[in-house]
């Protein structure tokens, strides 16, 4: 069983901001799967999340694997509360938890899948580490364009990260966002169908 959690903030006003890229990827993944299953999000107060349960036909498992998709309703900085509740109920080990989140240290359009390590300043990931009492889970890091060395836009926001991540994407950026969402969906599909190392090899930005 896998638990895949997209990080973001609930509410209409946050839907299209940079910080909600984790939600966006997971929503697009479920839409890609839904035509077959007609699965939708259910509000589960006991998990403080919107949840969808699907089954994935994995080549590696050679059988249907249950996959729990979740979007916490706790707001970003308390995401760990929802992840902990979900992991305990479904008895999912940390190494089978995949967190999809925005990453300010990767330029827009870039993606890096990695296992473990620090939160690198991401409050949502930090909350998950604190709640699980371990950093040994997978992260799908989706670049939102904040690169101190390469992105001139980011340089104007140094010291004001909160303002930057709560902004929407500009018209010029939307084509990159669309491609990144597609890559994120394909990366999840590849990781489920084959294994996560295959997804890393294929989708990690060099």
**Is 19 considered catalytic here?**
yes
Catalytic one of 19, 101, 122, 157: 19
Confirm if 67 and 29 have CB atoms less than 8 A apart.
Answer: no
Sequence-distant contacts of 15-18: CB under 8 A, at least 24 apart: 16/168, 16/169, 17/165, 17/166, 17/167, 17/168, 18/102, 18/144, 18/145, 18/164, 18/165, 18/166, 18/167, 18/168, 18/169
Sign of CA dihedral 44, 131, 129, 125: positive
Dump the DSSP string for 38-64. Answer: ----EEEGGGTEEEEEEEEEETTTTEE
Chain mean position to CA 151: 22
Strand order in the sheet with 42-44: 42-44, 49-58, 63-72, 2-6, 97-103, 138-143, 111-115
CA dist., res. 49 & res. 47, Å (int): 5
Residues labelled catalytic? 19
């Amino acid at each position: 069983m896998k638990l895949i959690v997209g990080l973001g903030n609930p509410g209409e006003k946050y839907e299209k901001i940079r910080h909600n890229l984790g939600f966006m990827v997971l929503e697009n993944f479920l839409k890609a799967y839904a035509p077959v299953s007609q699965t939708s999000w259910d509000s589960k107060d006991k998990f403080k999340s919107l949840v969808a349960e699907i089954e994935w036909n994995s080549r590696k498992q050679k059988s249907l694997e249950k996959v729990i998709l979740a979007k916490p309703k706790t707001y970003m900085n308390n995401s760990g509360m929802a992840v902990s509740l979900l992991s305990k109920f479904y008895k999912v080990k940390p190494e089978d938890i995949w967190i999809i989140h925005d990453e300010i240290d990767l330029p827009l359009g870039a993606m890096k899948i990695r296992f473990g390590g620090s939160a690198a300043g991401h409050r949502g990931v930090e909350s998950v580490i604190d709640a699980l009492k371990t950093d040994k889970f997978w992260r799908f890091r989706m670049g939102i364009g904040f690169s101190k060395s390469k992105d001139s836009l980011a340089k104007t926001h140094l010291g004001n990260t909160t303002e930057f991540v709560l902004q929407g994407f500009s018209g010029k950026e939307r084509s990159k966002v669309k491609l990144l969402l597609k890559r994120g969906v394909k990366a999840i599909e590849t990781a489920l169908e084959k294994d996560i190392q295959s997804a890393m090899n294929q989708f990690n930005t060099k």
